[in-house]
Amino acid sequence: MLSQLRPTAVWHYFEEIMRIPRPSKHEGKISAYLQKFGLDNGLETLHDDLGNVLIRKPAFPGYEHSQGVCLQAHMDMVCEKNGDKVFDFLKDSIQPIIDGEWLTADGTTLGADDGIGVAAILAILADKTIEHGPLEALFTVDEETGLTGAAGLSTEWLKSDILLNFDDEDEGEFCIGCAGGIDTTVAIDYNTCYCQPGVSAFRVKISGLKGGHSGDDINKGLGNANKMLTRILWNATKLFNIGLARIDGGNLRNAIAREAWANVVVDKGKEQEFKAMVAQFSEQLKFEFRSTEPDLSIDLNSIEVPQLIIDKDTQQKLLDALFACAHGVLAMSREIPNFVETSTNLASVKMDEKQIHVATSQRSSVESAKHAAAQKIEATFRMIGAHVSHGDGYPGWTPNPSSRVLKVGVDTYKSMFGHDPVVRAIHAGLECGLIGEKYPKMDMISYGPTLRGVHSPDERIEIKTVQMFWDLTLQILKNLK
């Protein structure tokens, strides 16, 4: 259905990619597809034990002495869907929908982050008429859940002097720096006890939120379903003898939680008061988030009384810690106007038979502030006796305003479109930080077409900007001679 869109080759490969399941840490099929593509096109094709793929294409005649350029994108995608959507990301194909000037998907993430970057690189590799110097195409795995592909990249693999990363989400801008990040995870032991007679059971559910990227969207005033649900439950414990049987919210560490629910029990005779309290908080939250979350829904439905509930001591400690847990912007930059320096995301709350698991992520363009933010979350949960651990984290990418490829990019953009592009650093994490750590002399920029709602089922790409991105890339490659 995308054959009507331009540039034809880019949309052709993007449509092929949408048919290939590629959740983070499950990139075997897309990695095999990329390797086959390289070999079918007679290009030098390498892969490593992680699943990263590197394809080399010789220079166009006359460009043999140009600096080598690496085109880079990640092959995995965030897998989020609406609660009522039946979809298996390990088996099913993404179902695209053209909605006016935008392309989106039917109830799931689209995978344009970063499938459109992968598709553009494939179109360049397959085209024998494009003028460019020696090319390398680097496709990495697991960018979305840990950047482990870039982290495990060999320091002997790349030969290029310049890297063009295709993972930015705003046409008309060049990114030259990004925040570093770290994950903080929590495990809380709990016991269960039998539900006493004389109670009614309800499910409280938060839905309809936009979600979004925990870096780029963290300063947009979006709602976090985990925080909203906790606020209701924490206040309910002050007014009623509620028991918590189950809690579940959010999914991915790098996505703001869109949905959350909890099963609770309330003493019989208190049902109407409990319903009134939830309705009151529903009105309050809808008013507070009226401009950023117009589709917020807070539902309360009767359910069958559960056999077991969480012990009261753990229940209160959990709700205290979740309510106190920081979420959102922690500090703005003192040097760059309107730029988020440090933030944290309360990503998910899940339960198994023995523990409650809380996943959070912290970001900062200041390394020490990144670790301080993680320690702040650690301190919050250590006060209730939880087990807290931190991931290895990843480094930020320090801006280089004197970059040659940046100058070529800016000059090319201005000559093509008649105005200056925006040059900025972003609060999201990019693989450029890890690649730059391994290849410190690599000159890098990141750019791409316009995407919105990434990491959520609202993900969409502005169709016309793909042509602009494509034309700009071909001209940059030509001008880097």
Q: Could you give the CA distance from residue 105 to residue 96 in angstroms, rounded to a whole number?
A: 4
Concatenate the DSSP letters of all residues of 406-437 into one string: HHHHHHHHHHHHSSPPEEEEESS--THHHHHH
Contact present, 248 and 261 (Cβ < 8 Å): yes
Q: What angle do CA 268, 271, 273 make, to 5 degrees?
A: 125
Concatenate the DSSP letters of all residues of 336-362 into one string: STT-EEEEEEEEEEEE-SSEEEEEEEE
Distances (CA, A) of 387 to 114, 246, 270, 457: 34, 20, 35, 32
Find the catalytic residue in 76, 171, 183, 458: 76
Biggest distance spanned by C-alpha atoms of the chain: 84
Distances (CA, A) of 296 to 84, 205, 290: 16, 11, 9
The torsion of the CA quartet 472, 106, 208, 178, rounded to 10 degrees, works out to -30
Distances (CA, A) of 86 to 92, 206, 293: 10, 19, 24
Concatenate the DSSP letters of all residues of 88-147 into one string: -TTTPPP-EEEETTEEEESSB---HHHHHHHHHHHHHHH-SS---SSEEEEEES-TTTT-
**Residue 295 bears catalytic tag:** no
Parallel, antiparallel, or unpaired: how do β-strands 162-165 and 443-446 relate?
parallel
Local structure of 466: helix, strand or coil: helix
Parallel, antiparallel, or unpaired: how do β-strands 451-452 and 96-99 relate?
unpaired
- Identity of the residue numbered 95: Q
Find the catalytic residue in 15, 27, 114, 143: 143
**Residue 283 bears catalytic tag:** no
Concatenate the DSSP letters of all residues of 183-231 into one string: EEEEEEE--EEEPPSSEEEEEEEEE-----BTTTTTTS----HHHHHHH
Active site (catalytic) residues? 76, 143
